[in-house]
Amino acid sequence: MSETIRVLIVDDHEMVREGLANMLKIAPDLELVGQASDGEHALMFCMETCPDVILMDLVMPRVDGITATKRIKEVCPQTQIIALTSFSEDNRIQEALKVGIIGYLLKNIPSNQLAEAVRNAHAGKSTLAPEAAQALIHASIQPQQPGFDLTERELEVLSILVDGMTNAQIAQKLEISLSTAKFHVSTILSKLNASSRTEAVSLALKLEIVVQK
């Protein structure tokens, strides 16, 4: 009998989660062990029980898929994570793979291909949608500028930084924890190679990463 692969689904849309759950039920060797509505809930689940594979949406409120992946990899390094999203933007694909996501698939994937991607991930093999592979080829021949790899959430935080808000104000505005706000700010500074919030804001405006209102 083949090994059962334990899968966690993370998506902020209940209908998407249920659809993915039904797709997984078709495969006898895949077991759905949980569902989470955002990255924060996913991290809490993983701190109690590390699943074998996670199907991770990237664009979610509070804690997005990229940030969640970084944290989950710290507590469950053996867990393999597949990005399952509706988007195929170049920078999002690059960022996803950079943080350790092993596969990048679009949500319109057929159930048999999804099951096979889960099996591949569990075996340590990568599966990329054709759109993701093409984006990586495109990125390899394009010059990269500071800030190109900021996630949608990080761009949102950066625009708030431009407005001069503190970490506490960022947390309150975005309805996230203070520690999450600090994490986002730290990541932004790192990606922009900035030594301070002031320098990050200056670079963001100079490079037109965000526009001051």
Domain layout of the chain by residue ranges: 5-140, 152-206
Over range 173-197, report the average pLDDT.
Answer: 90
CA distance 83 to 102: 8
Q: 3.40.50.1220, 3.40.710.10, 3.40.50.10190, 3.40.50.2300: which CATH number matches 5-140?
A: 3.40.50.2300
211 confidence band (pLDDT: 50, 70, 90) = low
Encode pLDDT of 92-144 as tens digits. Answer: 777 787 888 999 888 888 999 999 999 999 999 998 887 776 666 555 545 45
Residue with tokens 């469950």: 76
For 51-97, what is each residue's pLDDT tens digit? Answer: 999 999 988 888 889 899 999 999 999 999 999 887 655 567 777 87
What is residue 112's DSSP assignment?
H
Which residue is it, tokens 């209102």?
213
Q: Do domains 5-140 and 152-206 have the same CATH topology?
A: no
Query: For residue 138, what pLDDT is reported?
Result: 57
When pLDDT is averaged across residues 183-189 and rounded to a whole number, the result is 91
Taking the model in full, what pTM does it have?
0.66
- Neighbour-count burial for 133-169, b at 16+ CB within 10 Å, e otherwise: eebeeeeeeeeeebbbbbbebbbbbbbbbbeebebee
CA distance 105 to 22: 17
Domain covering 152-206 in this structure, CATH number: 1.10.10.10
pLDDT of the residue at 193? 86
